[in-house]
């Protein structure tokens, strides 16, 4: 899953790889004793909106769900999350090894490789651009020269490939929502360079004024919400000022250095209609004050005034001209999504997508980040679901609708693999009934320590009430685990709904459900290893997704899109 919350996100941006191939696990034995085949499924006696397959005497879902086992999940994960794959960073050797491993599993299971014109029909190749910061970046304000990774640093793209003089515009906290807009008084900011304060307005009790019940809002916990708004407004760049009086910007910049020095990636050919992501810079309080032509005391007074008013107030700052040079070196490379297709029967033109991302953050500061939970757990769950459905088909109980088992690359770099697939779909998006996305299902977060089995479910009701009801019914009938919906709240500051690959399907009005165990201390860290995976919980979560998928692909009617919740 993509990193989020504020400085935590900054501390885990990118990484790399290199490795040695390993053999695929041996072909599994049948794990449950098969019941004798009864008469063909019939629609007679079926309840409304219940598939014919689940209305017969034999519950075939209950037969094949248990073929998803801890042992098989462990077998696959022990390979994919081993040091040999060096963290599966997008575009690096370990990611390509993982792609080959997954494609071989799909082929051995009997899935079809659906990618036309590819050297491997299971792989959807596409070209990306890897960029790294060039040496010698500098910023000059009022005759003073400031140093890269001491006084300022940046994330993502840079429009300043050579020394460039700019006249920035102050945009307050960079927030726009109902009842609060820092942009209302600025007019058109297209192509402009903005100065924005990190954090959000706070009242006299140091509580956020825009959050729910005194909790932080998305604006205060995730700088990317502000970057996205600036991008929407057409700005060229944003300079975020760190105003934390207790912060130590040089120390933070030094800690960030290994991550900032790692490559970032973007599409080689962005869609013509796409608005390039705004360039994002972070400056120290001292540099920020110089850029605004003000003092720390005056800036603090401005923040107090905004917090007291609960809305933007006029600022008297007169931003200074800035000269900046922050060049990037660019290099093309290819990466790939892995696709396995199982054709349905009488409703084969309709398609369910079951997805997970198989990339991770690679090697950071000399340590391999194997990403056993993030998202090795989701990847092997997809492989095991493919096993269960292909076994069902071989034994005469295949799905009515088709299924695309999709493991994507580039999630950690910005949901890039799923974005590429939805922009270049192998199967028509209008025929895609839903995406069930699995991202981190192998651990327990602090909220659920010492409690029973659970899973967070996000997004299941946002576009289709039927999808939500089907998932609830599948859990009640088969797995009976606690389904936690707290992160489904549109006001949740973590914004998990926007942070994994299902979101690129949701953008196209395709119903989604995102299965997630929450973050833990090893999230985006070297400690995310196989030995910490809780396979019994992982097995049950994967089976829940399977049972939901079974109903989706076998019911008489395609689920409807009947909602547009935020």
Tell me the mean pLDDT in the region 378-386. 98
The yes-or-no verdict on residue 48 having pLDDT over 70 is: no
Distances (CA, A) of 239 to 133, 201, 252, 288, 407: 17, 18, 16, 8, 35
What pLDDT sits at residue 211?
86
CATH superfamily of 60-130+331-554: Zn peptidases (3.40.630.10)
What pLDDT sits at residue 276?
73
Regarding predicted confidence, which is higher, 537 or 258?
A: 537
Separation CA 242–CA 119 (nearest Å): 49
What pLDDT sits at residue 271?
57
CATH class of the region 135-326: alpha beta
Query: How sure is the predictor about 50, in pLDDT bands with cuts at 50, 70 and 90?
Result: very low
What pLDDT sits at residue 258?
82
C-alpha closest to that of 399 among 177, 172, 531, 553: 553
**Domain residue ranges of the chain, discontinuous segments joined by +:** 60-130+331-554, 135-326
Residue with tokens 């060049």: 327
Strands (E) in 284-327, as ranges, are: 322-325
Q: Which contiguous run of DSSP H or E holds residue 436?
A: strand 432-438
Q: For the chain, what is the largest distance between any 2 Cα atoms, rounded to a whole number of angstroms? A: 86
Could you read off the pLDDT of 143-156 as tens digits, one per residue?
A: 999 999 999 999 88
Could you read off the pLDDT of 485-506 as tens digits, one per residue?
A: 999 999 898 999 999 999 999 9
Separation CA 405–CA 341 (nearest Å): 6
Query: How sure is the predictor about 545, in pLDDT bands with cuts at 50, 70 and 90?
Result: very high
Could you read off the pLDDT of 411-426 as tens digits, one per residue?
A: 999 999 999 999 999 9
Phi and psi, residue 465, nearest 5°:
-65, -30
What pLDDT sits at residue 45?
36
Separation CA 104–CA 97 (nearest Å): 11
Separation CA 130–CA 136 (nearest Å): 19
The yes-or-no verdict on residue 26 having pLDDT over 60 is: no
Q: What is the DSSP letter of 427?
A: S
Percent of the chain at pLDDT > 70 equals: 89
Instruction: Write out 454-521 in H/E/C secondary structure.
Output: EEEEECCCCCCHHHHHHHHHHHHHHHCCEEECHHHCCCCCCCHHHCCCHHHHHCCCCCEEEEECCCCC
The yes-or-no verdict on residue 287 having pLDDT over 50 is: yes
Could you read off the pLDDT of 348-370 as tens digits, one per residue?
A: 999 999 999 999 999 988 999 99
C-alpha closest to that of 126 among 415, 412, 421: 421
Percent of the chain at pLDDT > 90 equals: 80
Residue with tokens 């290199």: 18
For 329, the token pair is: 């070196």
């Amino acid at each position: 899953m993509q990193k989020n919350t504020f400085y935590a996100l900054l501390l885990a941006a990118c990484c790399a790889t290199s490795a040695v191939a390993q053999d695929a696990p041996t072909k599994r034995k049948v794990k449950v004793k098969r019941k004798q085949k009864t008469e063909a499924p019939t629609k007679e006696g079926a309840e409304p909106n219940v598939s014919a397959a689940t209305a017969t005497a034999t519950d075939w879902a209950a037969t094949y769900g248990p073929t998803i086992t801890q042992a098989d999940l462990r077998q696959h994960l022990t390979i994919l999350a081993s040091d040999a794959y060096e963290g599966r960073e997008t575009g690096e050797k370990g990611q390509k090894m993982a792609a080959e491993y997954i494609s071989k599993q799909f082929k051995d299971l009997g899935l079809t490789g659906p990618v036309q014109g590819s050297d491997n029909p299971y792989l959807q190749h596409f070209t990306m651009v890897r960029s790294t910061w060039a040496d010698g970046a500098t910023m000059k304000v009022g005759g003073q020269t400031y140093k890269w990774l001491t006084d300022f640093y940046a994330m993502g793209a840079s429009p300043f490939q050579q020394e460039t003089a700019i006249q920035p515009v102050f945009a307050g906290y960079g927030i726009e929502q109902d009842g609060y807009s820092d942009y209302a008084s600025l007019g058109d900011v297209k192509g402009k360079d903005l100065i924005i304060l990190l954090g959000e307005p706070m009242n006299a009790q140091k509580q956020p004024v825009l959050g729910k019940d005194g909790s932080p809002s998305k604006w205060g916990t995730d700088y990317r919400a502000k970057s996205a708004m600036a991008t929407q407004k057409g700005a060229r760049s944003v300079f975020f000022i760190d105003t934390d009086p207790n912060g130590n910007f040089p120390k933070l910049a030094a800690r960030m250095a290994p991550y900032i020095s790692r490559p970032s990636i973007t599409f080689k050919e962005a869609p013509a209609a796409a608005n390039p992501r705004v360039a994002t810079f972070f400056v120290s309080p001292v540099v920020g004050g110089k850029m605004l032509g003000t003092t720390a005391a005056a800036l603090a007074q401005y923040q107090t005034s905004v917090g007291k008013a609960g809305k933007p107030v006029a600022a008297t700052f007169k931003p200074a001209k800035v000269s900046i040079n922050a060049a990037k070196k660019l290099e093309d490379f290819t990466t790939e999504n892995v696709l396995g297709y199982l054709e349905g029967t009488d409703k084969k033109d309709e398609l369910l997508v079951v997805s997970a991302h198989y990339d991770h953050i690679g090697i950071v500061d000399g340590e391999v980040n194997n990403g056993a939970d993030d998202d090795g757990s989701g990847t092997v769950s997809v492989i095991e679901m493919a096993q269960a459905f292909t076994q069902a088909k071989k034994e005469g109980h295949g799905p009515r609708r088709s299924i695309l088992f999709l493991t994507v690359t580039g999630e950690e770099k910005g949901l890039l693999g799923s974005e590429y697939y939805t922009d270049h779909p192998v199967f028509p998006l209008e025929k895609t009934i839903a995406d069930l996305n699995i991202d981190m299902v192998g651990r327990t977060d602090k909220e659920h320590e010492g409690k029973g089995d659970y899973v967070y479910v996000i997004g299941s009701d946002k576009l289709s009430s039927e999808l939500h009801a089907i998932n609830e019914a599948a859990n009640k009938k088969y797995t009976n685990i606690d389904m936690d919906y707290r992160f489904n709240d549109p006001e949740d500051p973590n914004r998990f709904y926007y942070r994994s690959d299902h979101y690129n399907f949701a953008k196209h009005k395709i119903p989604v459900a995102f299965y997630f165990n929450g973050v833990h201390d090893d999230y985006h860290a070297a400690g995310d290893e196989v030995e910490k995976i809780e396979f019994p919980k992982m097995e049950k979560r994967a089976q829940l997704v399977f049972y939901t998928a079974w109903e989706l692909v076998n019911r008489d009617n395609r689920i409807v899109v009947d909602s547009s919740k935020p």
